Amino acid sequence: MNRAKDGLNAGLQVGWERRVPCVRCSIARREAPCLLILEDLDALINDENRSFFLNEIDGLENNDGLYILGTTNHFERLDPGLSDRPSRFDRKYTFDERVQYAQYWQRKLKDNKDVSFPDSLVEKVADLTSGFSFAYLKEAFVSTLVSMVGAHDVQFEKVLVKQILELKKQIGNSDVMPILGTTYSF
């Protein structure tokens, strides 16, 4: 797989920024079977490369053996030709299970004597983080724990709520992160 990485890096070095998604598809096609992950499609696909990219994923090229997975934090910003048209991305998944994610952290921290994480806090976290991507949910917990290092008599709940409110300010409470996926025959 180093060959694919080297090819992508070479493409980036010669200024193919507008064709980066196409270069990735071309390299993945040569390496098939292959999983191609395109993160932050809303930022990656723009007016200059949109038609190139759309032709790469469902044009005349043979995409047998490719599984293309795309992510975005801003589904509403995607071109409808990308988000709504069948065969480009056949499945759309949103990850809005904030309660389950908070429960994951509750289980993870259950043996930490410095952390009190009652069930009521799980629901509170889920309510406060409406619209957070999983990256921001994780950041809320990680930054809370980092803030607590070396502190004495600090309540986990207060620090966590403060971190969530700070993150809300930073991101403007953006939408959940959908993942788009399409499968080509192997």
Q: Summarize pLDDT for 122-155 with one digit per residue, the tens.
A: 999 999 998 787 788 999 999 999 999 988 888 9
Paired residues of 66 in beta bridges? 34
pLDDT, greater one: 5 or 90: 90
Same domain flag for 120 and 157 = yes
Same domain flag for 111 and 150 = yes
Same domain flag for 38 and 18 = yes
Same domain flag for 63 and 110 = no
- Give a yes or no: residue 129 inside a domain: yes
For residues 140 and 162, give the distance between their C-alpha atoms in angstroms, rounded to a whole number. 9
Among residues 172, 180, 175, 181, the alpha carbon closest in space to that of 96 is found at 175
For residues 87 and 67, give the distance between their C-alpha atoms in angstroms, rounded to a whole number. 12
pLDDT in tens, 63-99: 777 777 888 877 778 888 888 877 777 777 776 688 9
For residues 122 and 76, give the distance between their C-alpha atoms in angstroms, rounded to a whole number. 28
pLDDT above 50 (res 16): no
- Give a yes or no: residue 23 inside a domain: yes
Domain end marker among 43, 64, 89: 89
Q: State the amino acid at position 130 in one-letter form.
A: S
Same domain flag for 17 and 50 = yes
Same domain flag for 52 and 33 = yes
Find the distance separating the first CA and the last CA of the chain, reported in whole Å: 18
Q: What is the mean pLDDT of the chain?
A: 77
pLDDT, greater one: 31 or 12: 31
Same domain flag for 76 and 103 = no
pLDDT above 60 (res 32): yes
Same domain flag for 55 and 128 = no
User: Could you tell me the CA-to-CA distances from 161 to 24, 94, 128, 151 in Å, in that order?
Assistant: 40, 24, 8, 16
Q: Give the angle subtended at the CA of 39 by the CAs of 35 and 45, to the nearest 5°.
A: 110
Range of the domain at 14: 2-89
Domain end marker among 65, 89, 113: 89
- Give a yes or no: residue 106 inside a domain: yes
Q: State the amino acid at position 48 in one-letter form.
A: E
How many separate domains does the chain show?
Answer: 2
Residue 90 C-alpha from the chain's centroid = 17
Same domain flag for 130 and 60 = no
pLDDT above 50 (res 9): no
Domain end marker among 43, 59, 89: 89
Same domain flag for 48 and 103 = no
Q: What is the model's pLDDT at position 178?
A: 42
What tokens were used for 10?
């070479």
